Structure 1
Amino acid sequence: MTSSAEPHVHPRGVKLGVDVGTVRVGVAICDRDEILATPLKTLDRNAKKNSDVRVIAALAADRGAVQIFVGLPRTMKGEEHASARMATEYAQLLADELDRTGSDVPVHLVDERLSTVTAHRNLHEAGMSSKNHRKVVDQVAAAGILQHAIDMQKARGTDVGSRVRALPRTGLPGQAAADTAERPDPEKETRSSEDGQLQ
């Protein structure tokens, strides 16, 4: 479930960014000094077995990540639709998997308006043909999400986004995250976007 606690000083070190899609999931990583986010890999989304969720949890452990940001898609008016619900549920699955493996790496949802559009534009400007975008656009979008988050943390001196906490393990099997998790604070996310929106 998400927390509405006041912002606090953010953890320092390697962080992961995640761009969730129905078919693919992009993953990005930043250096320990939190200067630059770079694309890492693209995973096939497996909604039945959630093998991709386990891969990201393993990546966090292997790379010594201190935080994971999952992009929360909103319309330009700040509204949430199906893709936002999917991202929220994915963040919940990830938080639950990290908890199951004994990890305390925090998962945060952050506004990702325009991240995929920006990724496509950057790839085009880099000279990559449109037909090749699909192979890397998700991880490039994830890098945009992560860069946005770490830049915001530096600018504000506090954490950003909405924390997603693991559900109690005594909960009903298969219980939908959308039914049990508190929704992210729209005002909080909108302020974050206005303060450091990706160009």
Structure 2
Amino acid sequence: MNEFQPGVRIAIDWGKTRIGVAACDSEGLLARPVETIINGPAAVGRIAKLVRELDAVEVILGMPIDLAGRQGIAADAMMKVADRIGCRIKVPLRLLDERLTTATAHRQLAAAGLSGVDRRAVIDQAAAVAILEQALDIERGTGAPAGVGWTRSRTVEEG
């Protein structure tokens, strides 16, 4: 079994409107919210900048898998997002099943006493934290990185 590899990891909860970003410390002990990025033309560039600023060793992108464990239209769209991000960063990108992470984040924020309006402002970051915590738990438990490693798909233009 491999040991946990130290280094900052970044998790991304990519949404149609907002993108939640979380990061952990270099020992992988504490996942924390970083920021919410508005989904638009500058989003991938901002993610690449955060990877450099935080000196991340890996990026984990939440992958929308349906409750039956299948990849559907949303997962296909996320592969295009993965291609855009993967081509802009110099560290491994991993895709991790994000089923129920937003629901978990909603429950945790509600338990913390945040109203629906207040939750909306931070839910994407909280979902990114949940994705990152899941990835860290898997890696600590197995000694292997969580999720599936991204490789350039045929839909990305060479250049």
TM-score of the aligned structures, taking structure 1 as reference length: 0.74
> In the alignment, does 2:32 pair up with 1:38?
yes
Report if the CA contact (8 A) 1:28-1:40 is conserved.
yes
Question: How far 1:81 moved relative to its partner?
Answer: 2.2
Q: How much does 1:92 deviate?
A: 1.3
Note if 1:117 corresponds to 2:140.
no
Assess if the C-alpha contact under 8 Å between 2:64 and 2:74 holds in 1.
yes
- How much is the aligned-residue C-alpha RMSD, in angstroms? 2.1
**Letter in structure 2 aligned against 1:118:** T
CA distance in 1, matches of 2:43, 2:22: 14
User: Counterpart amino acid of 2:55?
Assistant: G
| CA distance in structure 1 between the partners assigned to 2:157 and 2:76 by the alignment | 20
- Structure 1, unaligned stretches of length 5 or more? 1-6, 174-199
Determine the structure 1 residue equivalent to 2:57.
66
Cross-structure match for 1:182: none
Distance 1:40 1:172 in 2: 32
SS in 1 for 2:36: strand
Give me the whole-angstrom Cα distance separating, in 1, the residues matched to 2:26 and 2:158: 38
Q: Secondary structure at the match of 2:88?
A: helix
CA contact (8 A) 1:68 1:108 kept: yes
Aligned residue number for residue 194 of structure 1: none
* Structure 2: gaps (5+ residues): none
Supply the AA of the counterpart residue of 1:132: D
* TM-score where L is the length of structure 2: 0.91
1:70 CA displacement? 0.2
CA distance in 2 between partners of 1:19 and 1:8 (Å): 27
Contact 1:27 1:41 survives alignment (8 Å)? yes
Tell me, yes or no, if structure 1 residue 17 matches structure 2 residue 3.
Answer: no
- CA distance in 2 between counterparts of 1:42 and 1:159 reads 25
What SS does structure 1 have at the residue aligned with 2:121? helix
Cα offset, 1:167, TM superposition: 6.2
- Decide whether aligned partners of structure 1 residues 12 and 19 sit closer, same or farther in structure 2, where only a CA change above 3 A counts: same
Identity score, percent: 34
Cα distance, 1:10 vs structure 2: 6.2
From the superposition, tell whether residues 167 and 83 of structure 1 become closer, same or farther in structure 2 (CA, over 3 Å).
closer
Do the aligned partners of residues 10 and 93 (structure 1) sit closer, same or farther apart at CA in structure 2, a change above 3 Å counting? Answer: farther
Q: Deviations over 1:137-156 (max 9, x none)?
A: 00100000011001100100
2:65 matches 1:79: no
Find runs of 4+ consecutive structure 1 residues off by over 2 angstroms: 7-12, 165-168, 170-173
